Amino acid sequence: MTTSHDNELVFVSGTSTGMGSATARELADRGYHVLAGVRSQADADAARGPRIEPVFLDVTNPEHIDALVARIADDPQGRKLVTLINNAGIAVNAPVETLPLEQWRRQFEVNLFGHIAVTQALLPFLHESRGRIVNISSLGGKVAMPTYGAYAGAKFALEAVSDALRRELAQHGVRVVVVEPGGVQTEMTGHGIERARQFVADMTPTQRQRYGGLMQAIINQATEFTAQGVTAEKAALVIAKAATVPKPRARYTVGRDAALMTRLARLLTDRTLDRLAAANLRPHMPKAAASA
């Protein structure tokens, strides 16, 4: 016996590519009407499909959020929002010393404050439906590797907000779930690698001397990490599970790497994790930097 979801809406942000796109398709295949957040007409045209309706949403734009609220409130078929999946995100990697402050602010605006703004706006609908919020965090929300200070900082904060929100909403029947992907084959990671290369080019000679080898090692490691990661479709299955199972866990990991590292972060001392991180980076260091 299958359950009909004809009267239910799901909203997923960041569906232009990768996990967001795959998640929208997976939930549409399960019978939900998916409102898919995109940022361009080309992305909207690519996202549109059976039970997938693209909506323009930059999570940092209050007017876009207001329009999303109006779309849900005035649904032509009277469908109810049952799930919000906060997936939009950007990846910026550079050492703390070298990353411009505006890039720090941009990272937090998209990966944290934007999700809070969307959540605040849509919570009245979820109270009504006793629905669910799924926040897409990261392995970086548990372990902060070198050059991931801004990205991990926003994800650590999202984890904390999710914990607070889960405890606040439990008595009202609204569930809050966190998904922590590790390596996933997505375009966002590729864009992050390209940004990292640009940051190296923009460093001062002194900064490049200090951090150039580290940045190259991080780029090499991230490239390999992504290539060995799970597909966006496999990640979408975990996200869909978190969004639909009757009694979800508080957290789900995606991929063996995320499962392993989140366990190690609980078990090992900080100094041991430091040594493990350094050992994992060493094979990716340029020869000159590794022998220095």
DSSP one-letter string for 78-109: --EEEEEEE---------TTTS-HHHHHHHHI
Note the pLDDT of residue 132. Answer: 98
Question: What strand order describes the sheet that includes 132-136?
Answer: 52-56, 33-38, 8-12, 80-86, 132-136, 175-181, 251-254
What is the biggest distance separating any 2 CA atoms in the chain, rounded to whole angstroms?
66
Partner residues linked to 35 by β-bridges: 11, 53
Note the pLDDT of residue 288. Answer: 61
Note the pLDDT of residue 224. Answer: 82
- 79 φ, ψ (degrees, to nearest 5): -75, 150
Per residue in 91-105, pLDDT (tens digit) is 888 999 999 999 999
* pLDDT of 291 strictly over 60: no
* pLDDT of 120 strictly over 80: yes
**Cα(156)–Cα(137) distance, rounded to whole angstroms?**
8
Catalytic site residues?
151
pLDDT level of residue 1 (50, 70, 90 thresholds): very low
How far CA 274 is from CA of 98, 223, 270, in Å, comes to 21, 21, 6
Q: Do the Cβ atoms of 139 and 182 come closer than 8 Å?
A: yes
Note the pLDDT of residue 274. Answer: 92
**Cα(243)–Cα(117) distance, rounded to whole angstroms?**
20
Q: Per-domain residue ranges for the chain?
A: 8-287
CA torsion sign for 146, 149, 155, 161 is positive
Note the pLDDT of residue 3. Answer: 67
- 131 φ, ψ (degrees, to nearest 5): -90, -150
C-alpha count within 13 angstroms, C-beta hemisphere, residue 136? 29
The total number of residues written for the chain in this structure: 292
- Please give the distance of CA 78 from its chain centroid, rounded to a whole number: 30
- How many CB atoms are located within 10 Å of the residue 198 CB? 10
* pLDDT of 159 strictly over 60: yes
Q: Do the Cβ atoms of 180 and 262 come closer than 8 Å?
A: yes
Q: Which of 88, 70, 116 is nearest to 23 (CA)?
A: 88
Partner residues linked to 83 by β-bridges: 10, 132
Per residue in 236-277, pLDDT (tens digit) is 999 999 999 999 999 999 988 889 889 989 999 999 999 999
- Domain 8-287: CATH architecture, name and number where available: 3-Layer(aba) Sandwich (3.40)
Alpha helices in 205-291 (DSSP H): 205-227, 232-244, 256-267, 270-281, 287-291
